[in-house]
Structure 1
C-alpha cells in the first residue's frame, strides 16, 4: 500500500510538472499533457483509444464537448485515485465518467447521489442512473420512491414529469408504501391535472392499477365515482361500480385483493408459555393485519429478555430462567438464519428494557437476584463491546420502552419519547402510561391502555406504538393494542392467535430474507427491488 501511494505521488508530480509526458489531451480550449499508461490503468476507453487509435506524440486527442473542469477532475482521479464530488460538479462528472468508462469516478458520483436522495430529487436521480447504466443507484432511488410515495406523489415536482408508463409501473408494485389506497388515486389525479388535455385519456389505464378493493366503500362512492375524469370514462365507472358491488356483497374480514407490502414488519420473539420458555417467532404485517409463524427457532432456555433489531440482525439480550439471570447476548442474522453469541453485558439482567438509537443498543434497568436495577449500558456492534452509561434516577423492572423518530425542518432528529408502562402496584395490575420527552425533561400522562397487563412486548411500527400479549390477572394474554399519538387513543388490532406472556417485539425494515415468511400471508406477494 505504501509503495502504491509513493508511485501515485511520483506520477502526480510528473503530471503537474508536465515531465516525461507522452501524449496530449485537449478538452474545450485547454490542453493537458498526460502519461498514457496512467489513463490506461483507470479507463477502458483510454486503453482502447491509445492502443488501437494512436496519434503521433505531437498531436492532441481532441474532446471538444468535454469541459476542461470535468477533464481535470477525471485526470486528477487517474493520478491520485481520489476525486472531490460536489453538488456543483456531480452531474457533469457522472456524464463524462460514464463516457470515458472511469468506474472509480462513476462509483464516487453514485455514492454521493445516494447520500443526497430526497423527495425532491429521487425521480431525476433514478432517471439519471438508468441513463448512465448505474443499476445499484437506480435500484436504491427507485426503492426510495416506493418507500416515500406518499410524499413524492403529493409534493415532488419531478413526479409530474413521469411518463404514463413510469407512473403505471410504480403504482402497480406491491412494495408501494402507502397506508391508504386513496393516496394512489390522489397522486394519479395530481399527475393528470398537471397536463389534463394530454393526460386525461390515461385515466382508465392508471385506475386499473389502483387496488380499489382496498378502499372504503364510502370513499369509492363519495369521492372516486364522483370524479369528473372517472365519470367521463365508461371503463373507469365500470371498474368502480364492480368494486363497490364486490365490497357490499362480501362478508370476508380479510381484504379481497392483495395488500401493499409494508416497509416494516413486527417480529414477536419467544416468551413464556405454559410455564416454559417458548422458541416461537411470529411476524405481523400491518397492511394485511395478519400474523404468520416463522420456521426460525432460537435458544429457548431463557425468558424475560430484551429484544432489538439492528443492521439486519435480531438481538436477544439478558434473560431469566427462574433460577439465574443472564448477561449473555445472542444475535440472529436474517441473511444466514443462524444464532451467534456476541459481547456480554456488564451486568446480569432479566425483565430489562431495550431500545436502539443511532446505531447502538441500550439496555436499561431490569433486575438481578430479586434486586431492581437502575443502571444502563450501551452496545456498539462495530466494537462488540458494552459500555456503562449514566444510571437512571429510579430503579425500574418489567418496564416497556420505545423511541419515536421524527424530522424537524428537514434535519433528522430523535424524539426519544420514552413510554413507561406501569404494571404492578400493591399486587394490582395497572394500565396507566406516561411519556418522557427529553427536550422538555418532563413526564406526562397519556391515554391508558385498554387492558391492564404486565410483561408484554412493545414496539413502534409506522409511528404507532404496539403492545403485544403479556400476563393478565395471573394468566396469559393474547390481546394486541395500538396507540396513536396524534389522537391519544388506543385501539385493538388483530390477535396473534395464541396466548403468550413475557414476549418481546422488534421492528424489521424490509429485508430480502423475509421474502419466504411474508409470502405465506394471505393476498401478499414479496418481490423486493433491492434491500432496504
Structure 2
C-alpha cells in the first residue's frame, strides 16, 4: 500500500455518506413530509443532528414484520425543509439566504437541529445592518438563543441613533422593546436631548395610540442629565411632556428630575445624584485611556480613564510595572493598547508594551529597531507606525511599522524629508500626516504625509505657525492641529488642513495654552488633555465641538502631567469597569481639585 496518501479522513467519510444517500444503499428509514414527498435515509445519520429525530427512531418500529425499514411521517414539516435537514446530515453543508433563514430557524428550533440553528445564527450576525437589526432582534427573541440575542442587542444599543434615524423598523418597535432599549445603561447616545427627540419621533407615528405610553417611556430617559436651557426652552413646551407631567404615573419622577437639573445648573453634578435613575449616566462605548508622562518632577506609570457620559476621570489599578515612560506613543488596535518607546529620565526606549483592557494584563511585544522618544504614532490597515523621534543622540527622519500578527517591526523604505522629534502623526484614508516638530536646531511649521500605497513621503503647504510639542488628529477627513510651542510661547491656537483646497484655516483658540499634551478625537469632539502651560504641568482638560466650533471645559485628570500618552478604546466587553458604573469610589480623590498627589 502506498504511504503518505494526502487524503483527509473527514473528506473520505463525507463522500461515502453522500454516495450511500444518493444510491439508497443500506437505507433503513423512509421520511414522508406533509405533501407526500418521500426520502430514503439512515437513522444513524439523521440521529446525529437532532436528539428529537433520535427519540422518534427509538420509539417507532419498522412498518412490516421482517422489514428493517421504518416509515416516519412529519405532517407539519415542508418537504423543502426536510430535504435541507437530510442533506445537512450527510454533508454538513447548508445554503442559507434571506428567503429561507427564518423558516429554517423555526424548524431547526422545533426539532433541535442545533447545527442548522448555529448556521442560521451565524448568517444573521454576518448580515446584520442598521436597517435590519431590530427585525433580526425580534426574530431571535422567539427562540431560546440567548448568545445570539445578546450579540444583536449590543449591536442595536451601540448604533441606536443611526438605527432610529435611518431604519423604518424603529418606527414599528413595540412599547416593551422600546422601553428596554431606552432604559438600558449601555444605550450609546451622547445626549439625553437626542433620546427624548427619538421618543417623540416614535410617538408621532401613531400619536392617538402611542401617547398613552408616554408616562411609562418618559421615565426611561435620564431627564436629570438634560441641559437647563433644553428643559426651559424645549422640554417644558412639549405637549407630550406636559401630558406626562399631568399623569400620576410619571409626575413625581419628572418633578424630581426637574429639581435636579435646576440644582445642578452652573455647577458640577454631584456623584451622589448619579445614583438616581433620572440622572445616572449611560455607559460610554468609547473610553479614553491616559498613561505615563511627567508629573511632580518625575515620570509616572499612572493610568486613568475618562468616562465622557459622566465627565469623570477614574484611576486604573492595573498600571505597568516594567517602565514609567514619558514622551511615548500610545495607540489602540484590535482590542489592545500599545505603549511605544519613550524616556524615563535616564533611558531612551525601543520597548513596546501591550495592555489588554479586558484581562488587565500587560506584556512586552517585539521592540522597535531604534529607541524613540518624542515619537509620533499612527495606525493604518492593521499596522502601527512609529515615526521620527529622538534616540538620545539625534533627531530622526526614519520610521517603522509593526505587524501584530507576526509580532514584527519593519523599517519604512523611505525617510521623511525632515528630521522631526516632538511632532505628531494622524491618519486620513491611506495617508499618514506628520506635522511640526523640532529637528535639533529649529522648530518647524512644515508638514508632509506618507502615501502608504506608494511608500513615499509627499510635502504639503506649511502650517500657519511653527509648532513643536504639537498634537494633531483627524475627523471627517479633516486634519486638526492644536497647541504646541513656537520657540517663545506655549500656544492655544489651532488650525485645520483642507485636503481639497490644500490650505490651512484657523480654528478658535483653546481655553488654555499647552504643549506636550494629548489630543484625542472621540464622537466628534477633540479632547485636549494635560500638558505644560509654560509654567507647570497641568491636569486641565477641554474639548472642542467640531460642529459648533467652540471649546468647553471638562473634568480635570486626577494628576497633573505632561508628555503623556492617550488613546481611545472601544468595543470592550467590560467597558463598564472603566466608567462611573464600575469605578466610582476607587482612588483617594481630592474633592476640591479632583487631583491625586503622587509620591
TM over 0.5: yes
Distance 1:437 1:114 in 2: 38
Deviates more, 1:34-43 or 1:369-378: 369-378
1:354-395 deviation line (CA, Å, top 9, x unaligned): 233443323222222343333333323222222334544443
User: Residue 194 of structure 1: SS of its match in structure 2?
Assistant: coil
Q: 1:225: which partner in 2?
A: 236
The correspondence for 2:423, drawn from 358, 381, 399, is 399
Distance 1:94 1:264 in 2: 34
The correspondence for 2:375, drawn from 345, 352, 359, is 352
The correspondence for 1:288, drawn from 294, 300, 310, is 310
The correspondence for 2:269, drawn from 254, 265, 284, is 254
Distance 1:127 1:176 in 2: 18
Q: 1:38: which partner in 2?
A: 45
Shift, 1:191, TM fit = 2.4
Equivalent residues of 1:398, 1:454 under 8 A apart: no
1:469-491 deviation line (CA, Å, top 9, x unaligned): 12232631222232333344433
Q: 1:159: which partner in 2?
A: 170
Q: 1:528: which partner in 2?
A: none
Equivalent residues of 2:61, 2:70 under 8 A apart: no
Distance 1:191 1:54 in 2: 57
Equivalent residues of 1:400, 1:419 under 8 A apart: no
Distance 1:45 1:436 in 2: 65
User: Residue 373 of structure 1: SS of its match in structure 2?
Assistant: coil
Equivalent residues of 1:351, 1:398 under 8 A apart: yes
| Largest Rg, 1 or 2 | 2
For normalisation by structure 2, the TM-score amounts to 0.78
Equivalent residues of 1:220, 1:240 under 8 A apart: no
User: Residue 117 of structure 2: SS of its match in structure 1?
Assistant: helix
User: Residue 475 of structure 1: SS of its match in structure 2?
Assistant: coil
Distance 1:171 1:285 in 2: 20
Structure 1 residues 82, 382: closer, same or farther in 2, change over 3 A?
Answer: farther
Q: 1:530: which partner in 2?
A: none
Matched, 1:506 2:530: no
Equivalent residues of 1:401, 1:458 under 8 A apart: no
Distance 1:437 1:80 in 2: 57
Structure 1 residues 260, 403: closer, same or farther in 2, change over 3 A?
Answer: farther
1:461-513 deviation line (CA, Å, top 9, x unaligned): 11322221122326312222323333444333222143101111111225344
Q: 1:14: which partner in 2?
A: 20
User: Residue 220 of structure 2: SS of its match in structure 1?
Assistant: coil
Distance 1:225 1:490 in 2: 28
Deviates more, 1:63-72 or 1:198-207: 63-72
Shift, 1:455, TM fit = 1.9
Shift, 1:120, TM fit = 1.8
The correspondence for 1:265, drawn from 287, 308, 329, is 287
Structure 1 residues 461, 232: closer, same or farther in 2, change over 3 A?
Answer: closer
Deviates more, 1:132-141 or 1:328-337: 328-337
Equivalent residues of 1:364, 1:374 under 8 A apart: yes
Deviates more, 1:482-491 or 1:207-216: 482-491
User: Residue 366 of structure 1: SS of its match in structure 2?
Assistant: coil
Q: 1:495: which partner in 2?
A: 556
For normalisation by structure 1, the TM-score amounts to 0.87
1:12-63 deviation line (CA, Å, top 9, x unaligned): 2222333332222234453322222222222222222222234445554333
Distance 1:96 1:221 in 2: 54
Deviates more, 1:258-267 or 1:463-472: 463-472
Matched, 1:243 2:266: no
Q: 1:411: which partner in 2?
A: none
Equivalent residues of 2:158, 2:285 under 8 A apart: yes
1:380-413 deviation line (CA, Å, top 9, x unaligned): 32222223345444433223334579xxxxxxxx
1:277-323 deviation line (CA, Å, top 9, x unaligned): 20111111111111111112113343221112233322111122344
Distance 1:44 1:124 in 2: 30
Within 5 Å, which residues of 2 pair with 1:101-116?
Answer: 101-116=112-127
Q: 1:383: which partner in 2?
A: 406
Q: 1:408: which partner in 2?
A: none
Structure 1 residues 460, 68: closer, same or farther in 2, change over 3 A?
Answer: farther
Within 5 Å, which residues of 2 pair with 1:193-342?
Answer: 193-233=204-244, 234-235=246-247, 236=250, 239-250=253-264, 252-254=267-269, 256=273, 257-298=279-320, 299-342=322-365
Q: 2:505: which partner in 1?
A: 445
Shift, 1:258, TM fit = 1.4
Equivalent residues of 1:402, 1:458 under 8 A apart: no
Distance 1:428 1:202 in 2: 59
Structure 2: 5+ residue stretches without partners? 1-6, 274-278, 430-474, 587-599
Deviates more, 1:334-343 or 1:247-256: 247-256
Distance 2:493 2:75 in 1: 73
Structure 1 residues 403, 55: closer, same or farther in 2, change over 3 A?
Answer: farther
Shift, 1:418, TM fit = 4.7
The correspondence for 1:423, drawn from 484, 504, 508, is 484
Structure 1 residues 75, 449: closer, same or farther in 2, change over 3 A?
Answer: farther
Shift, 1:266, TM fit = 0.8
Q: 1:49: which partner in 2?
A: 56
Structure 1 residues 20, 292: closer, same or farther in 2, change over 3 A?
Answer: same
- Aligned-residue Cα RMSD (Å) equals 3.0
Deviates more, 1:3-12 or 1:81-90: 81-90
Equivalent residues of 1:434, 1:443 under 8 A apart: no
